[in-house]
Structure 1
Amino acid sequence: MDIGMIGLGAMGTEIARNLVAAGHRVIAWNRSGGHIDGVRRVETPAQALQADMALTMLADDDAIRDVLLDTQSLHEARAGLVHVVASTISVAFAHELVALHRAANVAYVAAPVLGRPDVAARGELNVLAAGAPTALEKVRPALEVIGKQIWHMGDAPPTAYAAKIACNMMITMAIEAMAEAVALTETNGLARERFFELILGTLFDSRPYRTYSANIIRNEYRPGFKASLGLKDLRLATEAAAQAGRSLPMLAAVHGRMAEAVQAGMGDRDWSAMAALTVEPRGRG
């Protein structure tokens, strides 16, 4: 399959490498340059849309608007292209993209992913896919390369982003839950290592708890998923809740905590650095 890539950050780079390794022909456009063996670079985003499928992995709504919409690149897409947007974007913007793709006569599939760059490198992302069945089937071979499982979220692309935002919201709730539990147990003489051995061996043996408890134990928050991006996703969740007319108090708490972490200079650290505000005496680790 001929695949165009738009956005080669940490995640996009690993996805592109896996697609090449699987035998797909990949062309790519990226703002900041860079080289990936087997990937042919193109000069404009519109050129990356001259393929069977294009996969966009840009940072947010504004980046997609700037790169694809303001440049009118979407209207220059190759006939029959399926555009897969793997970025985490707002539900409201996803609704807008549905209308814009329809006007440009371009098939649109949502495919935000669960996983960090190391998971992407192993081709083990969980892909939350939504879109017209015919479009999904066309891009399924590529999605199967980048993900260990494709989760069908329905025919409407906005649904997939709602699910992704909700998943990220729940991860931050788990991080805050662990931090507050350590604050209680450690001040009463129980080492955090021993406490996490207990919860991982009983009630909470899941990937988020295993991944982020290790960071809290070491008080080291090397970036996997940056706190600044986590804050963006919690903002999207807050906006989606407001649009739905729902009050989500736990979301409000973790949104505020993540904002504190970013304001404290931890925006480039892993998003689990928010735990340091609770568990460390000076709040920064």
Structure 2
Amino acid sequence: MNIGIIGLGAMGSAIAGNLIAAGHTVISWSRSGRNVEGVTAVASPQQAMQGDITLTLLSDDAAIRDVLLERDLLRQANPTLIHIVVSTISVSFSHELDEHHRKANISWIAAPVLGRPDVAAQGGLNVLAAGSTEALKKSEQVLNVISKRIWNIGTTPAAAHAAKIACNMMITMAIEAMAEAVVLTEANGLDRERFFDLILNTLFGSRSYQIYSRNIAANVYEPGFKASLGLKDLRLAKQAAEASRAELPMLQAVHQQMHKAVDAGGGNRDWSVMADYTIRFSVI
């Protein structure tokens, strides 16, 4: 297939490499000018919308609005294109994108992913895909290359974006839960490594607990998924909750803690740095 990619950050670069390895022809446009071996860089995002499938991996609503909508790319795209939005965006903007694609008569699916760039490099992402049955079927060949599983979320793209936001919200809740548990146990003589050995082998053995307990145990928070991006996703969760007129107290708590961690200088560190903030500033 001829595949375009718009946005070559860490995730986009990993995905592009896998698609090249699978034998696809890939062209890319990136605001940063980054390129990946085997991928043909083009001068404008319009050129990246002329193939069979285009994957957009821009960072947020504003970036997609600037690159895609302000330049009217959908009306300049290949009429048979399937546009796959991999970015984590707000539920409200997802609904807006649905309307723009419908007016331009361009097929699209939402396909946010679970997994960090190192997982993407191994082709091990979980893809949360939503859109028309026909578009999903035509996209499977590409999505199978980058994922270990495609989760069919249904025919409404916004549902996939809501699911991704909810998943990220739950990861921050797991991080905060471990941090608060460490505060209690260390104050009573149990070191965090032994405590994590206990919980990982009894009650909480999921991947999120495994990954982020290691960061907390070692007190090392090198960037995997930046705290500034985690804060952005929590803001999206708050917006979705407000639109649904839902009161979510745990969401309010983790948003507040992540905000404090970012304000304290942790924005470019892994989002599990929120645990460090909670542990260090827990004593009143």
Same fold (TM over 0.5): yes
Q: Secondary structure at the match of 2:55?
A: strand
Aligned mates of 1:12, 1:125 — CA distance in 2: 12
User: Which sections of structure 1, spanning at least 5 residues, go unmatched?
Assistant: none
Counterpart of 2:22 in structure 1 is 22
Counterpart of 1:131 in structure 2 is 131
The answer to whether the aligner puts 1:68 opposite 2:60 as a matched pair is: no
Measured at CA, do residues 138 and 228 of structure 1 come closer, stay the same or move farther in structure 2, by a change above 3 Å?
Answer: same
Map of 1:236-251 to 2, 5 A cutoff? 236-251=236-251
Counterpart of 2:225 in structure 1 is 225
Residue 280 of structure 1 and its aligned partner are, at CA, apart by 2.8
Aligned mates of 1:150, 1:57 — CA distance in 2: 17
Counterpart of 2:52 in structure 1 is 52
Counterpart of 1:252 in structure 2 is 252
TM-score, normalized by length of structure 1? 0.98
Map of 1:204-223 to 2, 5 A cutoff? 204-223=204-223
Residue 120 of structure 1 and its aligned partner are, at CA, apart by 0.4
Counterpart of 2:181 in structure 1 is 181
Counterpart of 1:7 in structure 2 is 7
The answer to whether the aligner puts 1:114 opposite 2:114 as a matched pair is: yes
Amino acid at match of 2:248: L
Residue 281 of structure 1 and its aligned partner are, at CA, apart by 5.9
Aligned mates of 2:55, 2:166 — CA distance in 1: 22
TM-score, normalized by length of structure 2? 0.98
Aligned mates of 1:231, 1:33 — CA distance in 2: 26
Is the Cα–Cα contact under 8 Å of residues 165 and 236 in structure 2 kept in the other structure? Answer: yes
Deviations 1:82-109 (A, max 9, x none): 0000000000000000000011110010
The answer to whether the aligner puts 1:88 opposite 2:88 as a matched pair is: yes
Aligned mates of 1:281, 1:191 — CA distance in 2: 18
Deviations 1:105-162 (A, max 9, x none): 1001000000001000000000000000100111111100001000000001000000
Measured at CA, do residues 282 and 170 of structure 1 come closer, stay the same or move farther in structure 2, by a change above 3 Å?
Answer: closer
Amino acid at match of 1:182: V
Aligned mates of 2:98, 2:280 — CA distance in 1: 45
Q: Which contiguous aligned blocks of 4+ residues in structure 1 show a shift greater than 2 angstroms?
A: 280-283
Q: How large is the Cα RMSD of the aligned pairs?
A: 1.0
Residue 282 of structure 1 and its aligned partner are, at CA, apart by 8.8
Map of 1:263-274 to 2, 5 A cutoff? 263-274=263-274
Q: Secondary structure at the match of 2:126?
A: strand
Amino acid at match of 1:134: E
Deviations 1:190-247 (A, max 9, x none): 0100000000000000100000000000111000000000000000000000000100
Map of 1:135-150 to 2, 5 A cutoff? 135-150=135-150
Residue 75 of structure 1 and its aligned partner are, at CA, apart by 0.9
Residue 35 of structure 1 and its aligned partner are, at CA, apart by 2.4
Deviations 1:153-195 (A, max 9, x none): 0001000000000000000000000000000001100010000
Counterpart of 1:277 in structure 2 is 277
Kindly tell me the number of residue pairs found equivalent between the two proteins. Answer: 283
Quote the sequence identity (%): 63
Residue 277 of structure 1 and its aligned partner are, at CA, apart by 1.2
Amino acid at match of 1:81: L
The answer to whether the aligner puts 1:36 opposite 2:36 as a matched pair is: yes
Residue 268 of structure 1 and its aligned partner are, at CA, apart by 0.2
Is the Cα–Cα contact under 8 Å of residues 183 and 282 in structure 2 kept in the other structure? Answer: no
Counterpart of 2:167 in structure 1 is 167
Amino acid at match of 2:113: V
User: Which sections of structure 2, spanning at least 5 residues, go unmatched?
Assistant: none
Is the Cα–Cα contact under 8 Å of residues 261 and 274 in structure 2 kept in the other structure? Answer: yes
Amino acid at match of 2:240: A
Aligned mates of 1:34, 1:52 — CA distance in 2: 22
Aligned mates of 1:147, 1:260 — CA distance in 2: 34
Is the Cα–Cα contact under 8 Å of residues 257 and 278 in structure 2 kept in the other structure? Answer: no
